[in-house]
């Protein structure tokens, strides 16, 4: 059995992990600002980035375990196909949720009524949600293109 999908999954999660760690760094720097917009933007970057990095790391550990199982006959072709479908489905759901995050962030900015901390919070959510929307959508498309039989199976 091939471990191609799980190796691919480990590699693409490096992108999410790098974004997360970069966001943590940028967020920490922004939180040093005296400006409330920057501090709230930084708080969003730091928080979302930490979550993204942790999820990416957990996903990589899980994918590595599944790659080993696939390589050593402990996973059937049907199980591997189900794993591909599940990951693809999660990405589609996340893409829809990401649109909601972006809209929520925009609402915070537009309804801030001069409250600068809300502007920063909303801007931070828009930036994080935008990255995640593009990441999730591109990844879902790539999986459907590279593993069409598995994605389309019922």
Q: Structurally, how many domains does the chain consist of?
A: 1
pTM: 0.93
State pLDDT tens for residues 51-103: 999 999 999 999 999 999 999 989 998 999 999 999 999 999 999 999 999 99
State pLDDT tens for residues 17-40: 999 999 999 999 999 999 999 999
How much is the average pLDDT of 107-126?
96
Give the pLDDT of residue 1.
Answer: 47
Domain that holds residue 68: 4-152
Got the DSSP string for the chain? Answer: ---HHHHHHHHHHHHHHHHHHHHHHHHHHHTT-SSHHHHHHHHHHHHHHHHHHHHHHHHHHHHHHHHHHHHTT-S-HHHHHHHHHHHHHHHHHHHHHHHHHHHHHHHHHHT-TT-HHHHHHHHHHHHHHHHHHHHHHHHHHHHHHHSHHHHH--
């Amino acid at each position: 059995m091939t471990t191609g999908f799980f190796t691919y999954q480990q590699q693409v999660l490096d992108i999410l992990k790098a974004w997360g760690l970069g966001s943590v760094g940028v967020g920490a720097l922004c939180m040093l600002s005296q400006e409330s917009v920057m501090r709230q933007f930084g708080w969003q970057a730091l928080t979302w980035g930490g979550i993204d990095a942790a999820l990416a790391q957990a996903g990589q550990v899980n994918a590595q375990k599944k790659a080993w199982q696939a390589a050593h006959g402990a996973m059937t072709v049907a199980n591997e196909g189900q794993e591909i479908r599940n990951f693809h489905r999660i990405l589609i759901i996340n893409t829809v949720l990401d649109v909601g995050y972006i809209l929520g962030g925009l609402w915070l900015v537009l309804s801030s009524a001069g409250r600068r901390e809300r502007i920063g919070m909303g801007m931070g959510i828009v930036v994080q949600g935008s990255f995640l929307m593009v990441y999730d959508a591109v990844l879902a498309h790539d999986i459907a293109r590279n593993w069409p039989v598995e994605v389309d199976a019922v």
